[in-house]
Each structure stands twice: as structure tokens, then as C-alpha cells.
Structure 1
Amino acid sequence: MAGTLNDPILHYVFDPLCGWCYAAAPLVQAARAVPGLTIALHGGGMMTGPNRRTITPQWRDYVMPHDRRIAQLTGQPFGEAYFDGLLRDTTAVMDSEPPTAAILAAEALWGRGLDLLQRLQRAHYVEGRRIADAAVLRKLATDIGLDGPAFAAAVDAHAGEPTREHFAASRALLARMGGGGFPSFALARGDGRLERIDASPWLGRPEAWQQHLAQAARQAA
């Protein structure tokens, strides 16, 4: 999400398959409405390489209490197609790399990375879609109005080593921020310092978060 050279920047380290990033989605949406604030997306690669996984009954049992807690805390919806469809599909693969490459492509071409992330989260948690599948990603991109062939070409250009380099840079930024995982937010100040912002007290309170960010952005500008 582009801004002017002197705009304060909210760095957001996320993963499209991270439940607590879905919990923070209303906060991200609220942050987009803060005047003069630029949001920089950094995919962390939570489920890549050896951390890729297929759905198992054990995984379903692990994530469901977290998902129920997220729904209770934030009001974020979870669909039957997710709980009783995707989370019971033992052939489905959880892989953060393809959806992150798609988000990078949408951001590079159209500045629409946040829009695609939001669509991917809904597709995963409400519609129970396999967001690591190329055909699903292309359909979701066209859902938000992106050109299908141009999107597919951009994803191909970002896939593989460019996305893995992005993950490495995001992890380095996360270490600089002092972040402990996903989601992590930090505000870049004019002197180059990064001020980490703990979003956990604001979950379910997007209006208050927006006011807090607006004040922090004014001080950082």
C-alpha cells in the first residue's frame, strides 16, 4: 500500500494461514483508514518447507479451540465448510508459499496485496477453500477484480526464490522489531526506529485501535 516518502509506515508481519492474523484482520482494515499511514506487508512463511503440513485429525483438534477463541474475541466468522470440510480433508496441504507469492504479485502489480489477503482469509476460514492451489488463487484474484492472466504471470515471477527471499527478509525484520510471531506490527518513525505495537489488547476493538494508531502516526510523522 503506497504512500508518500514521509508517511509513517506500519509494518505488518503476517501469514495467510495464521489464525491470529485472521483475528487481526479487522485491525488491519481499520489501519487502512488512518490518514497518512502506509501499510507495508511482510509474509513470514509460517508453513513453508519442513513446516508445510497436510490436514490431520490432530491438527483439527489443535486449531479448533484457537478458532473458537478468535470467533468469541473478535466476532470473525468461521464457516462449516472450514470446520467440517477443509479441516476434515486429509488430502489438503497447508502451504504458505503459494498464497504469499499471490499476495506479493497483487501488491506489485496493483497495490492490492491487502485486498487479496483479506479475500484469501475469508476463502480459507469461511469457505473452506484450498488457498495453496494455483487455480483457487487465480479465481480469488479475479473475485476482487484482478486480471487473471496478468495475475498468473506475476505469481509465476514471484514464486520460488523471490518469495523465499521475501520470507528471509520478513524474518529479519521480525527480529529487528522484537516480534514473537504472527501477527506482528511495528511503526517506523522518522528517525528510522521501529516501535513495536502489541495488537493483542486491541483485538475485537478496531475503532479504538484506529484511534491509537492515528495518534501514534501523528507522533511518528
Structure 2
Amino acid sequence: MADAILHYIHDPLCGWCYAAEPLVQAVAAAGFPLVLHGGGLWDPASRSDATKRAYIRASDQRIATMTGQLFGAAYLDGLLADPETVWWSRPTIAAVLAGEAIDGGSGLAMMSAIQRAHYVGGLRVVDADILVATAIAAGFDGQHFAELLEQVPVDRHIAETRALMLGRGLQGYPSFLLECDGELAHVAHEAFYGRPEAFAAALTAQALGVPV
């Protein structure tokens, strides 16, 4: 298990990745090294019609019921309800990469901060100024973060993530791959929403080759 690595295929603007956020935090707390792969769910930048927004709202309600994750009024009644809201994954993935570049292992902290700014605060995290402010609030140096936000190889990163997903037959976000001794194995996570400690225990067992 000492060499086990969890690869997390994510998108910061994916509701089910927000649902999985406690699972990932539990895994990190258990000492698993994490490698984050942002795939770009919303690409290119787009707006959502009323049907799509209703679908997202219903999905968010299900997530809240299953996991207890908070969806704030500023998001539900503001950002999500606004037909002019722009949905675009690229800036948020760049922000995660910038956080990781500042301090290896801090990409997850940046992603969590983005998720809370979006789903609780209802902030427009596709805007660079909002991302910098979110990073500062999360404890990052704002100037350094802003510089890296423009420099990180986000397009290459997204392309590599999509190639990984295609090669492993992964269909969506979130997805997890456990690497042990250079071999990758899919990690089933769907049954663990709302049970983060159980997910960490199951992952530990999988890494040790113990039947779950």
C-alpha cells in the first residue's frame, strides 16, 4: 500500500465531483497520494437553457440528499437560475493546476475552494479575478497564483486527461483509478457517496488486495 496512488479524474464544475469531495478528502487524510486529472466537462464556454438548468437543479438536490453537501441560495437562486451564467471548466482546471504548482499536493485544496465558491457562494469562478480572490481566501499568495494561472499548461493537461479516460474506458466524472506497482485498476465509488470513511477503508483494502 505504501506505493499506492489514487488518480482522480475530475472537473471542478461537476456536481458529482462536489458530491465526491468528502470521499477524496477522506482518502487524502488516510495518507493516499493523489494525482488530479481535470477533464473539462464544460468546454467550450457555454450557457445553459432552462431544461439543462432544471436537470442540474434536480441532480444537485439528489446530491444534497445523498451526501449532505451544501448548495447555497446564492448558487441555487442566483448563479444556477441566471440564463446568462457562463459554464466553462478550463479556467477552474487551470486554477487547480496553479494551486498544485505553488505547493505540490495543494491542488485538492484549491479545487475544494473553487467548489465552495461556486456551489455555496454562487461566485462566477470562470472569471480570473474571482479565482484569484478564491485562492487568496484559501491561503495562497495572490500574485504568484495569478501569474501561474496564465502559465500552467491547462490545454495539454485536459488533452492528456481525456486520452487517459479514453484509454481506460472511463465515461464521466468523477472517476478513480488506483495505481499499484505501476498497474491501474478502476475504483468503484458510487456506493460510497455520503460514506467517506468507508470509501477510504475500501480503497485501502483494494490497495492491499483484500476482498471488500
Equivalent pair of 1:71/1:78 in contact (CA under 8 Å):
yes
Residue in 2 that maps onto 1:152: 146
Higher mean C-alpha deviation, range 20-29 or range 208-217: 208-217
3-state secondary structure, aligned to 1:53: coil
Question: What aligned pairs does 1:169-188 form with structure 2 within 5 A after superposition?
Answer: 169-188=160-179
RMSD over equivalenced CA pairs, Å: 1.4
State how many pairs are aligned. Answer: 208
Equivalent pair of 2:93/2:154 in contact (CA under 8 Å):
yes
Aligned partners of 2:192, 2:16: CA distance in 1, in Å? Answer: 12
Deviation sequence 1:98-119 (CA, Å, 0-9, x none):
0100110110121210001001
Paired letter, 1:215: A
Aligned partners of 1:195, 1:48: CA distance in 2, in Å? Answer: 27
Paired letter, 2:143: P
Residue in 2 that maps onto 1:3: none
CA drift of 1:214 comes to: 1.7
Aligned partners of 2:98, 2:7: CA distance in 1, in Å? Answer: 18
Aligned partners of 2:19, 2:167: CA distance in 1, in Å? Answer: 24
Question: Out of 67, 75, 97, which is 1:104 matched to?
Answer: 97
TM-score by length of 2: 0.93
Residue in 1 that maps onto 2:199: 209
Residue in 1 that maps onto 2:69: 76
Paired letter, 2:51: Q
Equivalent pair of 2:3/2:180 in contact (CA under 8 Å):
no
Aligned partners of 1:149, 1:33: CA distance in 2, in Å? Answer: 29
3-state secondary structure, aligned to 1:182: coil
Structure 1 residue ranges without an equivalent (≥5): 1-5
Residue in 2 that maps onto 1:24: 20
Residue in 2 that maps onto 1:47: 42
Higher mean C-alpha deviation, range 131-140 or range 174-183: 174-183
Aligned sequence identity (%):
45
Aligned partners of 2:75, 2:11: CA distance in 1, in Å? Answer: 18
Residue in 2 that maps onto 1:164: 155
Residue in 1 that maps onto 2:183: 193
Equivalent pair of 1:100/1:163 in contact (CA under 8 Å):
yes
Paired letter, 1:214: T
Aligned partners of 2:175, 2:15: CA distance in 1, in Å? Answer: 13
Structure 2 residue ranges without an equivalent (≥5): none
